Structure 1
Amino acid sequence: MARGSKVGGTKRRIKDAVGFLVIIALFLLYMIPFLMVLINSFKQKRDIIKNPFSLITEKGFTFDNYIKAFEKMQFVKAFGNSLFITGLSTLLVILLASMVAFYFTRAKNTFSKVLFALMAASMIIPFQAIMIPLVSIYGSGLNILNHRLTLVFMHTGFAMSMSVFIYQGFIKSGIPVSLEEAAYLDGCTKVQTFFKVVFPLLKPTTATLVILNVLAFWNDYLLPSLVLGKKELYTLPLSTYSFYGTYSSDYGVIMAALALTVAPILVLYLFLQRQIIDGVVAGAVKS
């Protein structure tokens, strides 16, 4: 009995070791493009073309690419635009989506069911299918393009469906009605019950949606390129396009600009990673 158990344990350890090695290999394969961008951002253009896989060039690392990228892309202004658009859009999505999801979950009427079904169905409509009519209406019809608030409004609208869908599932399975009934007995109104009882319990889901929406808004290129035509309104992804020439491009500066663009998102993720994991686990475990 002990011998069979030992053999089984050895096989299990070998299986776990092989699985771990496969995961490491897949991780490295996935991370290679990001590592190449980071490494080549410290090289000159000729060194990148000559040997893009080399870790150290003859002249060593240089920070000139980051200096050029910071100045040419007007990093401070572009960062401010991205921060304003992303921050305000995310705040509106979190606030409105949580309230709408709470209403859809607790309201037992046909109106809420139909609206929730329509909102969920809208997630299958690709943005590319409506971008031309959208720009036509907001541009020639309403003449409100080239405004950051217009982009905030669009971002909020496009992100509402997924956010409401996720919030609704968590509220339905993770927040008992008895808590709200106790708040009502204590004299709370529905608004007070939502903000003092329900919304604090949505913290893990909120953190997950914050990082998902921030990633989507911060890295978006297509929609801002359609809405923002003035250079002083460019976000960070749009400002990196200025390094691409018609016949040649400075790859070192481009990769430095990409690294500067991604860095704030990485910092945000490091601060919210615990809440994100808690949100994923909470959504996976059913009571």
Structure 2
Amino acid sequence: MKKRRKIKSIILLTLSVVLFILYFFPFALVFINSFKDRLDIVSNPLALPKALSFENYISAFQTMNFMSALWNSILITLISVLLIIVFASMLAYFLVRWKWKMNGVILMLLVASMIIPFQALMIPFVSIYGNLGLLNSKWMLMFFYLGFGLSLATFMYHGFMKSIPVELEEAALIDGASRLQVFWLVVFPMLKPITVTIVILDVLWIWNDFLLPSLVLVSEGNRTIPLSTYYFFGQYTSSFGPAMAGLILAMIPIVIFFIILQKQVIKGVIDGAIK
């Protein structure tokens, strides 16, 4: 039995190391090549840089207009996620606590909307909103993120909220609390685990999204970080070195986000899974 356990532990450790290497290798490759010029990257992308030169990072920072793109990404991500959390949680609360027949239909429509791929909506999306003059606006992009992210968030809140006892809300109502106070002061704090899970999913989606902002944000001043990295890829040439440095710069804010909130993120995911 001991030998079998040792063999299993060795196999699991080996698989973990292999998976870690496979996962980490692309990031290491991008980081190594961010210090090299185009000729060195093309000739031998796996080789270590001959010297640590930050010219690619300086070029990427200037070309991307990094601070403006960073501000746009932070603003769009934070407000979009906040809107999704507020509207999805309130909608799920309404669907769970009010036993109306139409509520089941609304939930079915929300679930069905998740099946439709965004690529199927691209052409009418650009055509209709372009003719209305509603494109090229960060605030309109946040509205679009709310529409596309509401279904999944409401579905997740709906399943989690059914496990919350109604008696807690009834006690608060008897004490004189309004329905809004009951939701925000009693129900919503209990939704923290699933809220953290939704925040993780939506932050990763919105921060890294390229397709939707590329359709909505036309002017350079409104572009996000993923759109700014597209500056390095032209029709005939590509600046691989600055592009690699730009990708590293784009990853730094989201990595800092997870480092700061890693305890809350892990606890939220575990609590949400248990629920």
Alignment TM class, shorter chain as reference: over 0.9
Q: Which residue of 2 aligns with 1:126?
A: 117
Do 1:211 and 1:269's aligned partners in 2 also have CA atoms closer than 8 Å? Answer: no
Q: Which residue of 1 aligns with 2:145?
A: 155
Q: Distance in 2 between matches of 1:202 and 1:118?
A: 23
Q: Say if 2:243 is the partner of 1:250.
A: no
How do 1:2-41 residues align onto structure 2 when only pairs under 5 Å count? Answer: 8-41=1-34
Q: Which residue of 1 aligns with 2:99?
A: 108
Deviates more, 1:123-132 or 1:103-112: 103-112
Do 1:40 and 1:255's aligned partners in 2 also have CA atoms closer than 8 Å? Answer: yes
**Against the structure 1 CA distance between its residues 203 and 283, is the aligned structure 2 distance closer, same or farther, given a 3 Å change threshold?**
closer
TM-fit CA distance, 1:13: 2.3
CA displacement, residues 135-168 of structure 1 (integer Å, 9 cap, x when unaligned): 111001x111111111111011000001111111
Q: Distance in 2 between matches of 1:32 and 1:240?
A: 21
Do 1:205 and 1:276's aligned partners in 2 also have CA atoms closer than 8 Å? Answer: no
SS of residue in 1 equivalent to 2:129: helix
1:190 to 169, 179, 191: 179
Identity %: 50
TM-fit CA distance, 1:10: 2.4
Q: Distance in 2 between matches of 1:176 and 1:27?
A: 42
Equivalent residues, number: 275
Do 1:207 and 1:272's aligned partners in 2 also have CA atoms closer than 8 Å? Answer: no
Do 2:197 and 2:272's aligned partners in 1 also have CA atoms closer than 8 Å? Answer: no
Q: Which residue of 2 aligns with 1:172?
A: 162
Q: Structure 1 stretches of 5 or more lacking a match?
A: 1-7
Q: Distance in 1 between matches of 2:28 and 2:158?
A: 38
Q: Which residue of 1 aligns with 2:52?
A: 61
TM-fit CA distance, 1:55: 2.4
Q: Distance in 1 between matches of 2:269 and 2:162?
A: 16
Q: Which residue of 2 aligns with 1:83?
A: 74
| Partner AA of 1:56 in structure 2 | P
CA displacement, residues 65-88 of structure 1 (integer Å, 9 cap, x when unaligned): 111100111011111111111111
Q: Which has the larger radius of gyration?
A: 1
| Partner AA of 1:212 in structure 2 | L
Do 1:70 and 1:257's aligned partners in 2 also have CA atoms closer than 8 Å? Answer: yes
Q: Which residue of 2 aligns with 1:231?
A: 220
TM-fit CA distance, 1:285: 2.3
Q: Distance in 2 between matches of 1:214 and 1:231?
A: 22
Do 1:207 and 1:275's aligned partners in 2 also have CA atoms closer than 8 Å? Answer: yes
TM-fit CA distance, 1:281: 2.3
| Partner AA of 1:156 in structure 2 | L
| Partner AA of 2:139 in structure 1 | L
Q: Distance in 1 between matches of 2:35 and 2:189?
A: 44
| Partner AA of 1:221 in structure 2 | F
Q: Which residue of 2 aligns with 1:72?
A: 63
Q: Distance in 1 between matches of 2:260 and 2:166?
A: 31
Q: Say if 2:122 is the partner of 1:139.
A: no
Q: Which residue of 2 aligns with 1:42?
A: 35
| Partner AA of 1:255 in structure 2 | M
Q: Say if 2:200 is the partner of 1:211.
A: yes
Q: Distance in 2 between matches of 1:257 and 1:268?
A: 18
Q: Which residue of 2 aligns with 1:263?
A: 252
Q: Distance in 1 between matches of 2:217 and 2:267?
A: 37
Compute the RMSD of aligned alpha carbons.
Answer: 1.3
Q: Distance in 1 between matches of 2:32 and 2:167?
A: 55
Q: Which residue of 2 aligns with 1:3?
A: none
TM (norm. structure 2) is 0.96
SS of residue in 2 equivalent to 1:146: coil
